[in-house]
A and B are shown apart, each in its own frame.
Chain A
Amino acid sequence: MQASILKARARGSISVIGLGKRFRIVSPDRQRTLKAAVVARSHRQSDRYFWGLRDVSFRVGKGRTVGVVGRNGAGKSTLLRLIGGVGRPDEGTIEVHGRIGALLEISAGLTDDLSGRENVFLLGVIAGMTRREVEERFEVILGFSELEEFIDRPVRTYSTGMKMRLAFAVAVHIDPDILLVDEVLAVGDMTFQAKCFNRIREIQRQGCTIFLVSHDIDQIREWCDEVLFLKDGRVVAYGATEKTLALYASAMESLNAPTEIVLPRAEGAKPVLEQDRNRFGSREVEITSVSLLGSDEFAREHFAAGEALTIRIGYVARAQATVVRLQVAIYTPDGTLCLEVDTQAAGIPIEALPTRQTIDVRFDRLDLAGGSYFASIGIYSEDWRIVHDYHADAYPFTITSLFWGRGYLLPPMQWLKREVS
């Protein structure tokens, strides 16, 4: 009873925790035959693996549109497939609630020797509709595909564009709770493409959760509420579109023009920073030091719930004075954002100078529940467009609490028992 209520509420949400997927490195003499497998049994260690995805955690709420960016081979399509239930993760869990629709390898399911009409039913049923649901929507699908005159001819006689139109028309009419899109939007002629976009907008407005993989930054910016940035199978950042895209852009730039890697001197704690793994940015303004201080002004890694926490950040402008905004965020290990604050939003103007400065952000009470957390520190241009220096989850700390509970918050609290006469 309880469980079904929870599920009903979560329809359309995705929750991914600690996801890992590894692939066997295929050697040319791959054991495809029984003989080879029997022979190979004696020296099994010859199997080598690489992780296509590792430690990937994030949550997507119902009705959100999330863009996935990353270079080729970053694991975007693998992630999309796993969410779609194709293949199984080697680590971690994926919870997907609701019916999934997919715009992946769109025309792969067409059967050439059958008519367009037969293919509509076939594709629709394969995509998760019942025959009756396809019947009810048939006219709409047909109208969308603009293939009225050809619908009873075998698909073999269709042009590539016509096939795409037919497959797409079915795929966008299955009323999914979650829609997975993998760069297929560039299909057909311009008018049909516009039609597809309009239809996806409609699906979006109906409250469907959309997961979009694309290399087209403008498209992501136009469509997405959040962006997930993957690199080498790991999550670099997951958050608001503009900021995450800026990070992505800076990572791409530094890739094109490799800059000298300068690791900041870590004070107290032991963060390891590595360019383009957990450190990104142009470095026009650089974070030179980060310390987490307790109420006694000593650098620490362990704090008690409700204690004060001060984060002291040293920074310096490389060339000329620049107006910046400084952001501090605290995440749980599974990637949930607990809090995010920045100087601009707080109305504190900051101008980074060529001489070293420091700034403190002091949380008078850190009412987080017991557990481990990471602080991410970033310096951006005023409009978020440029990432100067961003240290992703680089500063770990733990909170200890006396009371055990679940969730992220633990404000000062007590239970009061009272007799009612």
Chain B
Amino acid sequence: MGGWGNRLRVRQAIHLRDLLSELIARDFKLRYHRSYLGVGWSLLRPLSQLLVFLFLFGSVLPLGIPHYTTFLLSGVLVWAWFGSAVSGASVSVTGNPELVRRPGFPVQILPVLIVVGEGIHFVVALPLLILVAWIDLGTISLAIVALPLVMLIQAVFTLSLSYVLAATHVRFRDTQDAANIAMMLAFYLTPVFYNPRLVAERFGGVLWFNPMSHVLQAYRTILIDGVFPDFVALGVVLLVSMVVMVFGIWVFERQSAGFVEEL
């Protein structure tokens, strides 16, 4: 009898995996449908951003950060994943009314879909980042084995925010505008293009409270300093993410009863 229950759970897990991959595949196909470059666009967007910042803070107002190309590219790519996942996830429920109305469809999967989907863009760009770091520094440390862990923590943190936003957006369409402004501010409050040590004295506290600055720091520690990241800081980020996640899922579950009527 227990076997029967287990088989059911295994089947459910397989189904969730298939559902996730089919829906992500759909999103990719639709996004790059009839486009020459396809997924290449996911590289071009951060690359163009990289060029702008390289020009601005490498030549016009030199910030004097060592290995600035690697520094910038890691910042831009990490932020691209976080930013587009958060703004995409906030409309993940409202954008899929036909799925929400389908009997038996697990709505909880919708924010996951966006976070993982955007994560794939990041993974596609990751070899480029590692290559750039290699050229820039001449060496790659063994510490890159810690990258998947950092990515996982970033995914958990992003997902926790996504649940809150996705649920809120169903009731209040302002959420998207508010989230976009918040994301723009957060972009500048995260040391994407500047050196956190330079502002540490005056704004260190603000950065310290920003989970994304710790996550980003971890990527750079691995790629530029070539050592393992500060696992204590990452642990704290993970812990905070878990708390937000529990809250986010709670909000999402509470609101999801009304999704059908609100759409």
Contact = CB atoms under 8 A, between A and B. Distances in A.
Interface of A: 1, 4-5, 8, 23-24, 32-35, 37, 81, 83-88, 99-100, 102, 104-105, 108-109, 111, 113-114, 118, 121-122, 125-132, 180
B173 interface: yes
Contact of B261 (A1, A23, A129): A23
Contacts of B101: 81, 86, 105, 108
Given A4-B1, A33-B173, A131-B18, A126 B99 contact: yes
Interface in B1-45: 1-2, 4-5, 11, 14-15, 18-19, 21-23, 26, 29-30, 33
Contacts of B99: 109, 126
B104 A100 contact: yes
A130 B173 contact: no
A105 B103 contact: no
B102 A102 contact: yes
Point out which of B101, B171, B260 has the most chain A C-beta atoms below 10 A from its C-beta. B101
Contact of B104 (A23, A33, A85): A85
B5 A102 contact: no
B103 A86 contact: yes
A84 B103 contact: yes
Nearest to B174: A34
A131 B261 contact: no
Contacts of B11: 130
Contact of B30 (A23, A35, A81, A111): A111
B165 to A, nearest CB: 13
B201 interface: no
A4 B2 contact: yes
A85 B15 contact: no
A87 B15 contact: no
B257 interface: yes
A102 B19 CA distance: 17
Given A86-B101, A86-B102, A125 B172 contact: no
B91 to A, nearest CB: 14
Point out which of A32, A108, A126, A132 has the most chain B C-beta atoms below 10 A from its C-beta. A126
Contacts of A32: 172-173
A29 to B, nearest CB: 15
B250 interface: no
Contacts of B4: 4, 8
A111 B256 CA distance: 24
A126 B110 CA distance: 12
B29 A81 contact: no
Contact of A86 (B14, B30, B260): B260
B33 A113 contact: yes
Interface residues on B, range: 35 or more
Nearest to B105: A126
B102 A88 contact: no
A127 to B, nearest CB: 8
A109 B257 CA distance: 21
A125 B173 contact: no
26 contacts: A4-B4, A32-B172, A33-B172, A33-B174, A34-B172, A34-B174, A37-B171, A83-B103, A84-B103, A84-B104, A85-B104, A88-B257, A100-B103, A102-B102, A104-B103, A105-B98, A109-B99, A111-B26, A118-B26, A122-B23, A122-B26, A126-B99, A128-B104, A130-B11, A130-B18, A132-B14
Contacts of B26: 111, 114, 118, 122
Interface string B221-263: 0000000000000000000000000000000000011111100
A268 B103 CA distance: 48
A118 B257 contact: no
A160 to B, nearest CB: 16
Nearest to B1: A4
Given A33-B172, A86-B101, A4 B29 contact: no
Given A111-B30, A125-B18, A1 B1 contact: yes
A68 B98 CA distance: 24
Nearest to B103: A84
Given A4-B2, A8-B1, A85-B104, A129 B98 contact: no
Nearest to A37: B172
Nearest to B11: A130
A180 B175 CA distance: 35
Closest 9 CB pairs of A and B: A84-B103, A88-B257, A34-B174, A102-B103, A108-B98, A131-B18, A87-B260, A125-B22, A34-B172
Nearest to B258: A87
Contact of A24 (B23, B103, B175, B261): B261
Contacts of B5: 4
A24 B260 CA distance: 12
Given A84-B103, A102-B102, A126-B105, A5 B173 contact: no
B29 A114 contact: yes
A171 to B, nearest CB: 11
A4 B5 CA distance: 7
A113 B104 contact: no
B164 to A, nearest CB: 14
Contacts of B260: 81, 86-87
Given A4-B2, A108-B98, A125-B19, 9 more contacts: A1-B1, A8-B4, A37-B172, A99-B104, A105-B98, A105-B101, A114-B29, A122-B26, A132-B14
A99 B102 CA distance: 13
A99 to B, nearest CB: 8
